[in-house]
């Protein structure tokens, strides 16, 4: 029996609150994986019209898992038409409390099958089962519950304003949190009365498809939630579709810019949650043990495949040797390996292409004269793995300090003063997350007010809750997910009485 820690609403604690629904997981035999999956359109599972498929593989071994329908522009068109019909015939005008019932039912079904979802997520994406089980699946359920609760209370979401749904929403999700990002997106959209065409990432489509199946089981009217699988071309067809009233995208900054152009052409509403290069700023008065754990969690959680990862460490000069010594010893203790092993800390890199990208950044840094520190433990022989890595001796202009690596790689710089720390932390085109580690409350305020990041954590990192808005600024995107702010992104607002 797990108890919920008091006075703290962070990720782990929320997970603890849902722990009864995320019991221990044994292995692969918990899930039945079919050799072939269709896309979900208009309440039916069917092949792509042209019969195209793509393969999804297990990154921990490189083995083929299943074939999945590759949706074409025509399939996107069909799904958008189904979503429009569902919007106009049922979902838009349904009382909020009835929409809520469907969402609550979906959330409960997800909890009932949480073990299966956790194992499937880990097989398809490579993340440690402990994370799928304790973070991704419980948080996905929490998002569905939270937004189900809003469906009949939308008049209170924005005081003084009446919110109406937008229509058909196109949502494109990434591979790093395949199920959780789907929940973040569909929950507010559906709660607000919109219908959805979802395009999950091509390397991790299976949990989105399973959630789509659960929506059918929960009795959602056909066409309310459509899942069109495929790669970039499928996503581009969705983002540029004239029948889509709003696009929500989470992924790379480059693709986000292309989507921004496509939606600007048509005046389609848009939210973008893009890349990041988050900095931990650790001052010499910080509680070092706590800071070490926060920094480790900030960059090695989910193999560093996290847009808000703390991929840069800015440490005050006086404690740099001590902190880095502790960090080097700490990463020796991280277990890298089979994602289905409950003791694994760092699982598989999501794809071969991503592994090559990470290697490229680290090799370039080595050539630039940086000092590379990696764990000495052997990596599995098969599959895509990269050791936890700390890169020191950097000036700040190197690519590894500027670009999003999206891997278990921490770039370290030092600073002397608060002003220098802020300047270094802000020396990035991104603006998603940051962390401040210090005992002084006044310093937390001074620094966090000056950091250009959508989310700033103080003496903690990677804490999420459905009630708190998440999102970026600058090249990390715009718009918020979660909280009342997240609901506003799916509503057309008018003054009350208008
Ligand atoms: P990454 O580079 O980390 O794989 P991407 O931004 O390429 O991230 O992918 C995020 C999501 O965007 C995936 O679902 C992917 O299929 C989709 N996608 C890729 N290219 C495009 C595009 N041109 N238009 C719309 N969606 C796209």
Q: Would you state the pLDDT for residue 13? A: 54
Sign of CA dihedral 315, 320, 322, 328: positive
Q: Which atom of ligand 1 is nearest to the CA of 173?
A: 14
Assess contact for 103 and 147: CB atoms under 8 A.
Answer: yes
pTM to 2 decimals? Answer: 0.95
d(CA 387, CA 410): 11
Q: Which atom, in ligand 1's list, is nearest to the CA of 202? A: 16
**Among 2-6, 407-411, 431-435, which stretch is predicted with the lowest mean pLDDT?**
2-6
**Residues enclosing ligand 1, CB less than 6 A?**
172-174, 199, 201-202, 231-232, 235-236, 239, 251-252, 255, 258-259
**pLDDT average, residue stretch 359-363:** 98
Give the atom of ligand 1 at the shortest distance from the alpha carbon of 199: 14
pLDDT in tens, 418-456: 999 999 999 999 999 999 999 999 999 999 999 999 999
Q: Which of 273, 392, 398, 403 is catalytic?
A: 273
497 versus 102: the higher-pLDDT residue is 102
Number of C-beta neighbours around residue 173 at 10 A = 28
Question: Which domains does the chain possess?
Answer: 28-274+473-495 (3.40.605.10), 276-458 (3.40.309.10)
Interval between CA 414 and ligand 1 midpoint (Å): 34
Ligand 1 centroid, distance to 258 Cα (angstroms) = 10
Atom of ligand 1 nearest to the CA of 231: 16
pLDDT given at position 27: 75
Strand ranges (E), 97-160: none
The catalytic residue among 121, 131, 307, 401 is: 307
Ligand 1 centroid distance, CA of 201 (Å):
7
Whose CA is closest to atom 17 on ligand 1?
232
**Mutational pocket test of ligand 1: of 232, 360, 475, the residue with most ligand atoms within 8 Å of the beta carbon:** 232
Rounded alpha-carbon distances, angstroms, from residue 468 to 115, 149, 282, 471, 482: 26, 15, 24, 10, 5
Ligand 1 centroid to residue 232 C-alpha, Å: 5
**How does residue 37 score in pLDDT terms, banded at 50, 70 and 90?**
very high
Residue whose Cα lies nearest atom 19 of ligand 1: it is: 232
Task: Identify which of 172, 272, 304 to mutate to test ligand 1's pocket (most ligand atoms within 8 A of the CB).
Answer: 172
pLDDT given for residue 25 in this prediction: 66
Question: Which pLDDT value is given to residue 441?
Answer: 98
273 given a catalytic annotation: yes
pLDDT above 70 for 6: no
Alpha helices in 368-493 (DSSP H): 399-402, 418-425, 441-450, 483-488
Tell me whether residue 322 is one of the annotated catalytic residues. no
pLDDT digits (tens, 9 = 90+) for 158-184: 989 999 999 999 999 999 999 999 999
What SS3 state is found at 439? coil
Which of the pair, 16 or 40, is modelled with greater confidence? 40
Distance 452 CA to ligand 1 centre (A): 25
Q: What is the predicted pLDDT for the residue at 17?
A: 55
Model confidence at 128: pLDDT above 80: yes
Shortest-distance atom of ligand 1 to CA 230: 16
Give the integer Cα–Cα distance in Å for 79 and 43: 10
Report pLDDT digits (tens) over 226-259: 999 999 999 999 999 999 999 999 999 999 999 9
Residue with CA at minimum distance from ligand 1 atom 7: 252
CA-nearest residue, atom 11 of ligand 1: 174
How far is the centre of ligand 1, averaged over its atoms, from the C-alpha of 369 (Å)?
33
Rounded Cα distance between 247 and 170, Å, is 5
Contact of 337 with 380, CB cutoff 8 Å: yes
Higher pLDDT, 497 or 237: 237
pLDDT of 5 higher than 70:
no
Mean pLDDT (whole number) for 203-224: 98
Closest residue by CA, ligand 1 atom 26 = 235
CA distance 212 to 39: 9
Beta strands (DSSP E) in 2-107 are 36-37, 39-41, 44-46, 53-58, 63-69
Q: What is the structure's pLDDT at 14?
A: 53
Structure confidence at residue 256 (pLDDT): 97
Question: Is pLDDT of 26 > 80?
Answer: no
Q: Does residue 63 register a pLDDT over 90?
A: yes
In this predicted structure, which of 4-18, 172-186, 226-240, 334-348 has the lowest mean pLDDT? 4-18
Q: Is the pLDDT of residue 139 over 70?
A: yes
Q: 118 CA to middle of ligand 1, Å? A: 23
Q: Band of the pLDDT at 10, cuts 50, 70, 90?
A: very low
HSE-CB for 221 with a 13 A CA cutoff: 21
The predicted model gives 18-22 an average pLDDT of: 52
CA 442 – CA 161 distance, rounded (Å) = 36
* Nearest-atom index, ligand 1, CA of 255: 6
Residue whose Cα lies nearest atom 18 of ligand 1: it is 232
Q: Which atom of ligand 1 is nearest to the CA of 200?
A: 14
Q: What is the mean pLDDT of the chain?
A: 94
Q: What is the pLDDT of residues 86-123, one digit of tens each?
A: 999 999 999 999 999 999 999 999 999 999 999 999 99
Give the pLDDT of residue 19. 53
Q: How far is the CA of 350 from the centre of ligand 1 (A)?
A: 14
């Amino acid at each position: 029996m797990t108890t919920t820690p008091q006075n703290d609403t962070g990720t782990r604690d929320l997970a603890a609150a849902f722990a009864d629904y995320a019991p221990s997981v044994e292995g692969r035999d918990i899930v039945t994986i079919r050799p072939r999956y269709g896309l979900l359109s208009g309440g039916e599972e069917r092949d792509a019209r042209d019969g195209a498929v793509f393969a999804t593989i297990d990154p921990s071994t490189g083995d083929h898992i299943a074939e999945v329908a590759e949706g074409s522009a025509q399939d996107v068109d069909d799904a958008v038409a189904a979503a429009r019909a569902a919007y106009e015939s049922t979902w838009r005008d349904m009382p909020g409390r009835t929409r809520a019932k469907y969402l609550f039912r979906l959330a409960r079904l997800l909890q009932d099958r949480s073990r299966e979802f956790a194992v499937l997520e880990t097989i398809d994406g490579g993340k440690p089962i402990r994370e799928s089980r304790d973070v991704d699946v419980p948080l996905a359920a929490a998002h569905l519950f939270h937004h189900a609760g809003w469906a009949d209370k939308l008049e209170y979401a924005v005081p003084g304003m009446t919110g109406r749904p937008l229509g058909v929403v196109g949502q494109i999700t990434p591979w790093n949190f395949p199920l959780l990002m789907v929940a973040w997106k569909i929950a507010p959209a559906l709660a607000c009365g919109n219908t959805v065409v979802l395009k999950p990432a091509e390397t991790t489509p299976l949990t989105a498809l399973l959630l789509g199946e659960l929506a059918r089981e929960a009795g959602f009217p056909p066409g309310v939630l459509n899942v069109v699988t495929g790669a970039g071309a499928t996503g581009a067809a969705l983002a540029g579709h004239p029948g889509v009233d709003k696009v929500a995208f989470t992924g790379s900054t480059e693709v986000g810019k292309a989507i921004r152009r496509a939606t600007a052409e048509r005046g389609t509403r848009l939210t973008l949650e893009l890349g990041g290069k988050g900095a931990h700023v650790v001052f010499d008065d910080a509680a070092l043990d706590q800071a070490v754990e926060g920094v480790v969690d900030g960059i090695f959680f989910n193999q560093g495949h996290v847009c808000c990862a703390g991929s840069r460490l800015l440490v005050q000069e006086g404690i740099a040797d001590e902190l880095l010594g502790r960090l080097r010893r700490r990463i020796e203790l991280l277990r890298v390996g089979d994602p289905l092993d409950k003791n694994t800390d760092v699982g598989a890199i999501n794809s071969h292409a991503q592994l090559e990208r990470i290697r490229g950044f680290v090799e370039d840094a080595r050539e630039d004269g940086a000092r590379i520190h990696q764990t000495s433990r052997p990596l599995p022989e098969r599959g895509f793995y990269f050791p936890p890595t700390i890169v020191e001796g950097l000036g700040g202009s190197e690519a590894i300090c500027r670009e999003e690596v999206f891997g278990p790689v921490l770039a370290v710089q030092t600073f002397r003063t608060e002003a220098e720390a802020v300047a270094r932390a802000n020396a990035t085109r991104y603006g998603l997350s940051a962390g401040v580690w210090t005992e002084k409350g006044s310093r937390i305020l001074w620094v966090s007010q000056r950091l250009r990041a959508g989310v700033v954590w103080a003496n903690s990192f990677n804490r999420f809750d459905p009630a708190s808005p998440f999102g970026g600024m600058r090249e990390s995107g715009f718009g918020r997910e979660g909280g009342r702010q997240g609901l506003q992104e799916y509503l057309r607002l008018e003054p009350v009485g208008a």
